[in-house]
Chain A
Amino acid sequence: MPYNDYVSVEHLSHRFRLTRKIAIDAVKDVSFSIDRGEILGLVGESGSGKSTVARCVMGILRPSGGRVTYDGIDVNGARLSSEEKIRLQCERQIIFQDSGSALNPRMSVRRILSEPLDICGLARDRGEREALLIQNLDFVGLDAGILESRPGELSGGQRQRVSIARALLMKPKLIVADEPIASLDVSIQAQIVNLFKHLQAEHGFTFLFIAHDLAMVEFLCDRVGVMSKGRLVELAPTRQLYDAPRHPYTRALLSAVPIPDPRLERSREIPVYRAPEHVTRREWTRVGFDHYVLMER
């Protein structure tokens, strides 16, 4: 059976149990899909469940409800063939937010990068492996001199590039990036975002990009989903979302982005968004071409 949706997330819910009595619903009934070769952005405040969605898509967390499929394969399926398992492991890659803890501090960059290659048997001999390492470091703008260093000796920007190179080495078809630029400086952020855009154009992978910087998302993504309090409240093509946001939270989020112009910035009022308290009905409504909003009443 052919699948149109490359990645599809259907009614995904995740609940974290803290104690026997207390549980937190981190993600509630989230559905969306990503087409092949598309960059989907996911934005929202911290604690809105974006990272949990990313982790469910990667199969790091087992969702407590709903289904995630990757190219027709159920990510959490009980009976997967070994071929399907290998595809899931090799074709999906994640880039974490904090490059400081994503890389093993005791390993050299060479070992960090060659480990996944060895596990998946992607390089036939040492020469080919070396060539792959250098080629991928070159993709992310690093030179081979870095191979012998350890993560502790690198700057935040360099470490993040190593994480990206590690993900790229596997020739992934899907990359999930969980706030990859949040911990970096403005000038480095721009470098990394340019790099993503360039690499995506070159390799054509599918990309789930999670961020809270709305300006960067606008620049990079084809479609954007907005999350608030565990729910997906709006999903639309980027231009449309930024030009005509429909959900009140999206509006508040967009208008709160500070404008780098002191006179303009100070003269404007920023609306405060308060979530409605008693919602009896929630409906996922189509309001325009490919534009969906969660209507709350």
Chain B
Amino acid sequence: MANLLEIQNLSVSFDTHAGEVQAVRDVSLSLPEGKVLALVGESGCGKSVLCRSVMKLLPRTAKIKSGSIIAGGVDITNYGERDMRKLRGSLFAMVFQDPMTTLNPVMPVGDQIAEAVRVHNRRISKEAAHRRAVELMKLVGIEHAEERSKLYPYNFSGGMRQRSVMAIALASNPRILFADEPTTALDVTIQAQILDLFREIQTTLHTATLFVTHDLGVVARVADLVAVMYAGRIVELGTVEDIFYDPRHPYTWGLLQALPAWSKGRDTLNVIPGMPPSLIHPPRGDAFACRNEYALGIDYLEQPPMVKISETHSAATWLLDPAAPKIPSPIQGGPHAV
């Protein structure tokens, strides 16, 4: 299977008054065709920055320090704004978090989708673009598309708006879709429909999706692959089954245990103590060490390497070192284990 997107040893930093913020540190990731990769982690761990650095949508203060980004077989690390404009929309498109603010409130939804179609294909006539817009609206599951294409965003419910945003993203057949918390602003019943739509689109159009979220329930429904990020690094990478049934990194354990499902019938919820570290001067060694009850001495001194557990699964923790004490995963036989 071809990898549509390959990120190798990418580091991204921001220059601020307080110093250099190392938002993404040495991240390697590959996204195969037709798969959904979920990027999970707390806010400020670099998920969105990683997405945006591939799209080159970062502010000027951000710099790619090292590493390379290969999208669709081409190295785009040093692409400038002009080259990127050709790629955005055609090679990759993005679905943002809040469907209320991504649509133009004073333009009919159908016209907004048709506009996206015409931007990438100037020769197409207005009528053809409109027909394509209606087709796209049907594709994302909006009923009575013809009539609704003339309505304005305020006539639409939150779920329909998010569907329209997806129609715009799909307007020019992108091969890679970035979704930055696309369901956070929706209620759970609508969220489930949108997630199923993501899976449907990925099977019919074979797009690859990078799905940013902090909700593990969402991950369980939508993702094929999962990357867990902490303090700018990927700490665990695997298939969705690897991560949920056989997690190896203590941070992943913490995330799973913090779910209310884990505390059913108990008085307090599990928490990960403390706060994520500042990325201005990230700690030496493992950034998670000071919040990690299983931390070893070496965690405070040296960054753990990415250890391969199986063909698909790897984690960056010293606990996987042959010399480390064997700690049974607290997740084994989790809240929903059958």
Q: A interface vs B, CB < 8 Å?
A: 44-47, 155-157, 185-191, 193-194, 197-198, 212, 214-216, 218-219, 252-253, 256-266, 270, 272-273
Total of A-B residue pairs, C-beta within 8 Å: 118
Are B259 and A186 in touch, CB under 8 angstroms? yes
A199 → chain B closest CB, angstroms? 13
Min C-beta distance of B246 to chain A, whole Å: 12
Contacts of B261 in A (CB 8 A): 215, 259-260
Q: Kindly state whether residue B241 has any CB partner on chain A within 8 Å.
A: yes
Q: Return chain A residues, CB-CB under 8 Å to B44.
A: 155
A186–B158 contact, CB under 8 A? no
Nearest A residue to B185 via CB reads A46
Chain B residue at minimal CB-CB distance from A185: B42
The 10 A-B residue pairs with the shortest CB-CB distance, nearest first, are: A258-B217, A45-B187, A215-B260, A261-B336, A190-B269, A256-B188, A265-B220, A270-B192, A185-B42, A187-B272
User: Is the Cβ of B187 less than 8 Å from the Cβ of A261?
Assistant: no
- Decide: B158 and A46 in contact? CB cutoff 8 A: yes
Task: Determine the distance from Cα of A219 to Cα of B259 in the docked complex, in whole angstroms.
Answer: 11
- Residues of B in contact (CB 8 Å), total 46
Say yes or no: A273 contacts B189, CB within 8 Å.
Answer: yes
- Candidate in B186, B218, B261 with the most chain A CB atoms within 10 angstroms: B261
Cβ 8 A contact of B158, one of A47, A214, A261? A47
**0/1 per residue, B248-260, Cβ < 8 Å to A?**
0000001110111
Instruction: Kindly state the separation between the CA atoms of A191 and B240 in the bound complex, as whole angstroms.
Output: 26
A266 CA to B221 CA in the complex, in Å?
Answer: 6
Other A-B pairs, 16, CB within 8 Å; known A186-B216, A186-B259, A260-B335: A185-B214, A186-B214, A187-B42, A187-B258, A212-B188, A215-B259, A215-B260, A257-B188, A258-B195, A258-B217, A260-B244, A260-B336, A261-B220, A265-B217, A270-B192, A272-B189
A171 to B129, CA, bound (A): 61
CA A264 to CA B338, docked complex, whole Å: 9
Minimum distance in angstroms from A32 CB to a CB of chain B = 20
In residues 208-255 of chain B, which contact A (Cβ within 8 Å)?
A: 214-221, 223, 240-241, 244, 254-255
Contact assessment for B43 and A187 in the assembled complex, using a CB-CB cutoff below 8 Å: no
Beta-carbon contacts under 8 Å, B322-338 to A:
334-336, 338
12 contacts between A and B (CB under 8 A): A45-B186, A46-B158, A185-B42, A186-B215, A215-B261, A256-B191, A257-B188, A258-B188, A258-B192, A260-B217, A272-B193, A273-B189
Given A46-B185, A193-B269, A253-B189: A258 and B221 within 8 A (CB)?
yes
Say whether A218 contacts B260, CB under 8 Å: yes
A185-B42, A256-B189 known; A264-B215 Cβ under 8 A: no
Q: How far is the CA of A272 from the CA of B263 in the complex (A)?
A: 28
With known contacts A186-B259, A187-B42, A264-B336, A45–B190 Cβ distance under 8 A: yes
In angstroms, Cα B229 to Cα A256, docked, is 26
